[in-house]
Structure 1
Amino acid sequence: MFDYFFKKKLRLSNSVNFQYVFSKSSKKNTLEISILGRSNVLGYPRLGLSIPRKNIKNAHNRNLIKRLVRETFRLLQHQLISMDFVVIAKKNILNLDNKKIIDMLKSLWAHYHR
């Protein structure tokens, strides 16, 4: 039985973890969003978010995108390989509705399934 919580251990919490992913990572992307991933030895995936204010001006839009990314990760965490992920949102993401963003995220996460 799996639990589907987004616990603290599943988050990239400091800049050292982010630099680890940025230094050598595999990249899957669309025009609206990119997912960088790098293997870890922890046995479970971790998630970091980079939603720049430069790309998305309004805080409520940034928060909405963060919620959608965290929710798709939370639901798929047991199917993902053991990697550290950083999700980067781009300006074009504001042109999409929530359903399209979720579908796009699911298709990007599918590249990292076990």
Structure 2
Amino acid sequence: MNADPRSSAAHQIFKRKLRLTKAREFQQVFAEGRRAYCKGFVVIFRANGLGHARLGLAISRKCARRAVKRNRLKRLVRESFRRARCGLPAVDIVVLCGKGTAEASNRRLFADLEQAWNQIMKLLCVAS
């Protein structure tokens, strides 16, 4: 039997249930969330009680004037989140970026985000 190649990557798809989609959801994270800092990124998070992590992106023009650079940052953050999602607790996460982040290498950005995911796990374990 040949396995469908798409099914092996099915758990990697960034489904709608894994995203923050409503303004109210973003507002709750900004109002009640805790912050984790790493080079180039600020990650704001709060427990959601859903049993899985969700991601929201707030990549502004201040950090990258050109849409192509903002879209690259969004793709990198989503990919990093997909890879780390299974190890993350049930939290809503909003990722913001700072000036100069758009010029950083992919390798550095992935390392920075990995640091942020680890920081979230540490902060939530200490709080528990």
Whether the 8 Å contact between 1:25 and 1:37 is mirrored in structure 2 is: yes
Moved over 4 A (4+): none
Letter in 2 for 1:69: V
Would you tell me which structure has more helix in proportion to its own residues?
A: 2
| Percent of aligned pairs with the same amino acid | 35
Match of 1:94 in 2: 102
Q: C-alpha distance in 2, partners of 1:95/1:64?
A: 11
- Consecutive unaligned residues in structure 2, runs of 5 or more: 1-7
Whether the 8 Å contact between 1:21 and 1:36 is mirrored in structure 2 is: yes
Match of 2:3 in 1: none
Letter in 1 for 2:93: F
RMSD of the TM alignment (CA)?
1.7
TM-score (norm 1): 0.92
How far residue 31 of structure 1 moved from its aligned partner, in angstroms, is 4.1
Corresponding residue pairs, total: 114
Q: C-alpha distance in 2, partners of 1:29/1:111?
A: 8
Q: Indicate which of 48, 54, 57 corresponds to 2:65.
A: 57
3-state SS of paired residue (1:85): strand
- Consecutive unaligned residues in structure 1, runs of 5 or more: none
TM-score (norm 2): 0.83
